[in-house]
Amino acid sequence: MIAQPVRKAVIPAAGYGTRFLPISKAVPKEMLPIVDRPVIQYVVEEAVASGITDILMIISRSKRAIEEHFHPAVDLEVELEQKGRIAELEDLRRLQSLARIHFVWQPKMGGLGDAILYARDHVGNEPFAVLLGDTVVTTNDATRPVTRQLADVVERFGGSAVALQEVPEAKVSRYGILGGDEVEPGILRATSFVEKPKPEDAPSRLAVSARYVLSPRIFDHLLNTPKGKGGELQLTDAMASLMKEEALHGVRYDGARHDIGNKLDFIKANVHFGLQRPDIADALREHLAELMG
């Protein structure tokens, strides 16, 4: 088998963001800032650093601001150039050059599986990455983003792969949980995959963590999967069905997941990334120390 490289990514970003009302009513949660850039820009940067050159964003009615953010702003570039604001100009131009970005609309919220089905025509017959647009995932080794680690596993073993993080037992019912056998340190071959199980039914405490690389065969399974948890079409259920035909691997990564759709993680992410920005890190550290007494 000659492995197909993973070139395309899908970023679902259509969900309402009900956990973050009222701000998410008019501001897409994917556009909330971490320091000075929206969450979804970090997600795009991870994809690009993983070798992705083509990105399809799945959006809905109230998500126009995402399109605006990635739209070239020629007038603003001229303004910055005239004022000699070269650093800002280069930042804008870099954003434009990241990848080819496309959009498709999900008319009705029908679950993550339903969202992914809207990518079918665009993706065609090649493996593709899925990065949830409201979640930033960082790795301890910044040269090995999670999506790259998953693409490597799929290019070696075929099939599909998901990023995994261990969660406390009390939280397994919030995630897709994967059970399997370790084939190499940190890489599991899945034997079961369940969406949001009760703790007593969970095959492990290994939770799917917002990143996937999927075989294009997933689309046929999505078309034939009945609605699952919450009356929605669940990607996990379609993957559990695909797993009977093709390998599914789970990759445990060393790093952190910042789910911006949740208030506490949003604030933590701003502190985490703020402490890494040379222009504000020292002042922020001082302020935090003062607050803590």
Binding site for ligand G1P (CB under 6 A): 112, 132, 175-176, 195, 207-210, 234, 236
State the minimum distance, in angstroms, from the CB of residue 112 to ligand G1P.
Answer: 5
For residues 80 and 208, which CB has a smaller minimum distance to ligand G1P in the complex?
A: 208
In the bound state, the residue with its beta carbon closest to ligand G1P is: 176
State the minimum distance, in angstroms, from the CB of residue 261 to ligand G1P.
Answer: 7
Q: Between the CA of residue 136 and those of 32, 36, 139, 212, 281, what are the distances in Å? A: 12, 14, 10, 13, 20
State the minimum distance, in angstroms, from the CB of residue 75 to ligand G1P.
Answer: 37
Q: Who's near 180: CB < 8 A, 6+ residues apart?
A: 188, 189, 190, 191, 192, 204, 249, 250
Cα(105)–Cα(63) distance, rounded to whole angstroms? Answer: 10
For residues 154 and 167, which CB has a smaller minimum distance to ligand G1P in the complex?
A: 167
A 10 A CB-CB count for 270 gives 17
State the minimum distance, in angstroms, from the CB of residue 106 to ligand G1P.
Answer: 13
Instruction: For residue 182, give the 3-state DSSP assignment.
Output: strand
State the minimum distance, in angstroms, from the CB of residue 286 to ligand G1P.
Answer: 35
For residues 34 and 163, which CB has a smaller minimum distance to ligand G1P in the complex?
A: 163
Q: Who's near 234: CB < 8 A, 6+ residues apart?
A: 111, 112, 113, 176, 195, 225, 227, 228
For residues 152 and 195, which CB has a smaller minimum distance to ligand G1P in the complex?
A: 195
For residues 215 and 236, which CB has a smaller minimum distance to ligand G1P in the complex?
A: 236
A 10 A CB-CB count for 158 gives 16
